[in-house]
Amino acid sequence: MKLVSFDGGRIGAVAPQGLIDLSDLAEVAADFWPPVGMSRIIAGFDALRPEIEDRLRTGEGRPLDTVRLGPPIPWPNKVIAFPANYHAHIDEMRAVGRLVSRAPASGQGFFLKANSSLSGPADPILLPPIAGREIHHEGELGVVIGKGGRAIRADRWAEHVFGYTCLLDMVVRGKEERVMRKSFDSFCPTGPWIVTADEVPDPANIGLVLTVNGDPRQSASTRDLIVDIPSMVAMASSVMTLHPGDIIASGTPAGVAAVKAGDVVEIAIEHVGAMRLDVREAAIGDHQVWHVGKEVES
C-alpha cells in the first residue's frame, strides 16, 4: 500500500484507479495544525487496514497528477539520521578530509535533523545563498516507524517498521554543528509516498539510484549498509522512545556531490518509488556564522 499526504493536510492511498481519500480516517480535520493526521493513521493502522483495503477495492480514484503531494509525514516526532553508514562513502569523505570522526556509524551513533526541514516531492530544494560553500545531496532510504517502543531488540525490528520512503539528506559541507548544516527548510525531501513494509520483499537488499540532470551520481544497495535496519532500530530505541511516524534516514552511499540552482535531482529506490526535485537558490539563509574565522569578501 502506498500512502500519501496531499493538498495541504489531506491523506490518501494510491490504488490502480487513482488516489483514494482517507482523510476522514485520521480523525483530525485536514486543515488541523499541527498536521498529525498521517501519524495517527500509522498509529491506528492495524485497526484501520480493513476499511482502507475496502476503499482501495471499491473507491472512486482521482488522478494523482491533479493533486499536490506533500511530505508523507509532515509532523513526525523526530527524524533520526545515520551518518557514514556505507564503507565507500566513508572512504570518499576521508579522501577529501571531510570525515571528522574516525568511527563509522557502528561506533558513532546517529544525529537528528530538524523536522521542519521535511519537504515533499513537489517542493524544490532551496539552497541558502552562502558564498563559498558546497551543498551536497545524500540519497537515502527512509525507514518509517510503525509501532513505537523503547529498547527494541534487533530481532524484533520488523514489528516496528511501518514502511519506507525515498529521502534526501541535504547538507551544507563545513565544520559547523551538523544539525545546523542539515536542517535548512527543504533539506529533507521525502516521498513520493510511504510504501508499507509488506511491499518490500527484502529491505536488506534493495537498490538506490540518484541522478543529477540525468547523470548517475549515487548507486548502491542496502546490502552494503554498515549498521543495518534492525540495528538502527535497536540503537535508536536504546536512547529514545520511538513513536509511530518517526523517520530514520539510513545513511548515504558513495557519490555525494554539490548541487546548484537549476539542477534536477532524481532519486529512485527499488520497490519504494522515485521522485524528481528541482533545485533553486533561496533568497534567505545566509548568516555570519558561516563566515566566522574566514575571510569574507565585501
Residues engaged in binding Mn ion (CB under 5 A) = 138, 169, 252
How far apart, in Å, are the Cα atoms of 79 and each of 1, 8, 111, 182, 204? Answer: 22, 20, 9, 11, 21
CB-nearer residue toward Mn ion: 4 or 90: 90
User: In the bound complex, what is the minimum distance in angstroms from residue 229's beta carbon to Mn ion?
Assistant: 15
CB-nearer residue toward Mn ion: 2 or 181: 181
CA distance 170 to 137: 5
User: In the bound complex, what is the minimum distance in angstroms from residue 154's beta carbon to Mn ion?
Assistant: 21
User: In the bound complex, what is the minimum distance in angstroms from residue 87's beta carbon to Mn ion?
Assistant: 15
Say if CB 279 and CB 264 are below 8 A apart.
Answer: yes
User: In the bound complex, what is the minimum distance in angstroms from residue 140's beta carbon to Mn ion?
Assistant: 6
CB-nearer residue toward Mn ion: 123 or 169: 169
CA distance 268 to 183: 23
Taking CB positions, which residue lies at the least distance from Mn ion?
A: 169
How would you label 187-226 residue by residue, b for 16+ Cβ within 10 Å and e otherwise? Answer: bbbbbbbbbbbeebeebeebebbbbbeeeebbebebeebb
Cell numbers standing for residue 183: 536542517
CB-nearer residue toward Mn ion: 169 or 270: 169
Number of C-beta neighbours around residue 16 at 10 A: 7
CB-nearer residue toward Mn ion: 40 or 178: 178
User: In the bound complex, what is the minimum distance in angstroms from residue 98's beta carbon to Mn ion?
Assistant: 13
